[in-house]
Amino acid sequence: MPSCSSAKNNLGTLVAVCLSHQKGTSKEPVSEALLVANWGLEGDAHAGTIRPVSLLDEASALELTRAQGLDYRPGVFAENLVVRGLDLGRLQPGDQLEVGKALLEVIQRGKPSQPHHYSYHGWRLLPTEGIFCRVIKGGRVRPGDQVRVCPRDASL
């Protein structure tokens, strides 16, 4: 497994892990979950799809919900992993993230927004702020785990 950077700007914290058993719904926070290589989060409706794991920056979710006078709880935007302290906006496809002992690879930033997609009071953050990943190496993840950006050349 690559040795990921622990530089301050490349280090964040996993705030929440969220699952749903059905597509088109919000997700519920859980105390821990298993990321499965080439699949996604065990028990989540989006595991095995083209975008198996979604990440959202806690600050973005809080900013939008506060501006709209809404309450935020992890999972309301249908995100799997909520991260604090890491600039997800800098991530590009091909970047790798170590989450706990698991390893993810960014496959897509944002996604097309469709009218039939789930929204929280009419708001969708994953199309504009979401980071979508595949699982390279599985492992259990739980709130409090560190999230590290791996250098692009770490696997060389």
Q: What is the mean pLDDT of residues 27-46?
A: 96
Q: Which residues of 55-77 are buried (b: 16+ CB within 10 A; e: fewer)?
A: bbbbebbeebbeeeeeebebbbb
Instruction: Decide if 2 is inside a domain.
Output: no
Task: State the pTM of this model.
Answer: 0.86
How many domains does the chain fold into? Answer: 1
Interval 77-94: pLDDT, tens: 889 999 999 988 889 999
CB atoms within 10 A of CB 85: 15
Is 7 exposed, middle or buried, given 0-12, 13-18 or 19+ CB atoms closer than 10 A? exposed
Interval 90-126: pLDDT, tens: 899 999 999 999 999 999 876 666 555 666 666 666 7
| Contact predicate 138/2, CB 8 Å | no
Alpha helices in the chain (DSSP H): 58-67, 126-129
pLDDT value of position 12:
95
138 has pLDDT over 80: yes
Q: Which DSSP string do the residues of 85-105 spell out, in sequence order?
A: SS-GGG--TT-EEEETTEEEE
pLDDT value of position 139:
97
pLDDT value of position 156:
35
Mean pLDDT of the chain: 85
Instruction: Decide if 155 is inside a domain.
Output: no
Instruction: Decide if 30 is inside a domain.
Output: yes
Of 21 and 111, the one with more pLDDT: 21
Q: What is the mean pLDDT of residues 123-152?
A: 88
Of 129 and 17, the one with more pLDDT: 17
How far apart are the C-alpha atoms of 146 and 98, rounded to whole Å? 8
Instruction: Decide if 134 is inside a domain.
Output: yes
Instruction: Decide if 73 is inside a domain.
Output: yes
Interval 58-75: pLDDT, tens: 998 898 888 888 888 999
Alpha helices in 11-125 (DSSP H): 58-67
Return the CATH number at 14. 2.40.33.20
Tokens of 154: 């770490």
Domain range for 30 is 8-150
